[in-house]
């Protein structure tokens, strides 16, 4: 296929296709999904490995590798520090990479692949739970702070990962697991400045 034909197939312009091939830009999940539906082995395009070779699997919140040919779901991975949009729509951001996970294993973790995104952790505020440079899978369908847990939040237009605890009077306490950082109290009248974007479910990072 020509670059123009492949661009049309992926739903992008010819210049975007050229930039993908030059490694000047990274394709997003919609482009890769369109190519995958057309029969392109997008796993091979991204990793150099065929889909019947090794791929990532999940178990007890950790990442391992297995072989097989079961259905894989693409998960778009975003770097929240590099974000430039309005904070609410991750789809407007550049996808840093795309990882593929077995659909059945995501479902076994209670996750709908269509609602899962990967977020790169930045900074040391969540040390002890999440380290700088880790990836975390976020369930965007889970936005209720009860039960309490670790969430991707939009706070005053800035994306943050914090532990959320509800306190008396309807306020929220935003907690950094690193004790060097102070807790932040969000009063009920200030809730308009805070939005839960999803619950952090699975950490992917180095063992140290």
Task: Answer yes or no: do 46 and 127 share one domain.
Answer: yes
Counting the structural domains of the chain, the total is 2
Q: 4 lies in which domain range?
A: 1-40
| pLDDT (0 to 100) of residue 56 | 54
pLDDT at 140: 92
Query: Global pTM?
Result: 0.64
Encoding tokens for residue 118?
Answer: 């990967």
pLDDT recorded at residue 93: 74
pLDDT tens sequence across 92-113: 677 888 888 889 889 999 999 9
Q: Specify whether 105 is located in the same domain as 52.
A: yes
> Do 101 and 36 have their domain in common?
no
Do both 33 and 70 map to the same domain?
no
pLDDT averaged over every residue in the chain: 82
Question: Do 61 and 136 sit in the same domain of this protein?
Answer: yes
Contacts of residue 113, defined as CB under 8 A and 6 or more positions apart, other chains included, come to 73, 74, 75, 101, 103, 106, 107
- Same-domain check for residues 153 and 91: yes
Q: Are residues 35 and 65 in the same domain?
A: no
Same domain assignment for residues 135 and 166 = yes
Q: Encode pLDDT of 7-17 as tens digits.
A: 888 888 999 89
- Work out the pLDDT band at 180, boundaries 50, 70, 90: very high
Task: Check residues 183 and 96 and name the one with the higher pLDDT.
Answer: 183
CATH of the domain at 170: 2.10.109.10
pLDDT at residue number 208: 66
Provide the 3-class DSSP secondary structure of residue 188: helix
pLDDT of residue 168: 84
Residues 34 and 100 in one domain: no
pLDDT at 175 (0 to 100): 94
- Please check whether residues 34 and 61 belong to one and the same domain: no
117 in the same domain as 45: yes
Each residue of 32-77: pLDDT tens digit? 888 888 888 887 777 777 655 445 555 444 444 444 545 888 998 9
- Together in a domain, 4 and 49: no
Residues 6+ apart with CB under 8 A from 123: 132
CB 180 within 8 A of CB 39: no
């Amino acid at each position: 296929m020509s670059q123009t034909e492949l661009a049309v197939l992926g739903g992008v312009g010819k210049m975007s296709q050229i930039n993908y091939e030059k490694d000047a830009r990274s394709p997003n999940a919609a482009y890769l999904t369109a190519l995958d539906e057309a029969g392109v082995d997008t796993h091979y395009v991204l990793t150099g490995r065929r889909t019947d070779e090794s791929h990532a699997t999940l178990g007890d919140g950790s990442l391992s590798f297995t072989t097989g040919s079961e259905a894989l779901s693409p998960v778009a991975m975003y770097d929240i520090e590099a974000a430039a949009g309005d904070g609410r729509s991750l789809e407007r951001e550049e996808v840093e990479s795309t990882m593929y996970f077995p659909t059945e294993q995501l479902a076994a973790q209670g996750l709908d692949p269509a609602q899962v995104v990967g977020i790169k952790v930045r900074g040391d505020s969540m040390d002890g739970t999440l380290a700088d440079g880790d990836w975390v899978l976020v369930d965007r369908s889970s936005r209720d702070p009860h039960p309490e847990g670790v969430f991707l939040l939009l706070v005053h237009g800035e994306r943050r990962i914090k532990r959320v605890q509800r306190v008396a009077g309807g306020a929220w306490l935003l907690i950094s697991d690193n004790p060097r950082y102070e807790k932040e109290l969000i009063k009920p009248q200030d809730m308009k400045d805070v939005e839960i974007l999803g619950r952090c479910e699975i950490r992917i990072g180095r063992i140290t």
